[in-house]
Amino acid sequence: MRNKLMPLSKAADLIKDGMLLAVGGNAMHRNPTLFSLELARKPLKDLKVSGAAPGIAADILMATGQADTAYFGFFGLENEAGLAPGMRKAMEGEGKARAVEGS
């Protein structure tokens, strides 16, 4: 079987404009945060993020303006921190992103 392990930067190179990313984790737990930070270094646009309860990793992509749509049941940073600030700014204040809530 072929080895599928690769450096984070090489994995990030697989992501292209307009892709739908199923972001793992749940709010503040088990998020692929380092992967999102690696993506934030790239000039990506029109990404879509999806998750039952996306958190900090998806919020990074919303805050950088790389993601323009989020599909979710709850998008936040746990009860203590409230709604994800990058998502909220992109959707409410700037109106640059679209929320598709599907609980």
pTM for the whole thing?
0.88
Chain segment 69-89, per-residue pLDDT in tens: 999 988 888 777 778 888 888
- What per-residue confidence (pLDDT) applies to 61? 96
- What per-residue confidence (pLDDT) applies to 77? 85
DSSP three-state, residue 80: helix
- What per-residue confidence (pLDDT) applies to 7? 95
Distances (CA, A) of 32 to 2, 15, 22, 96: 23, 14, 11, 24
- Mean pLDDT of the 11-16 span: 96
Chain segment 15-56, per-residue pLDDT in tens: 999 999 998 888 888 999 999 999 999 999 999 999 998 989
User: 83: closest CA among 59, 48, 50?
Assistant: 59
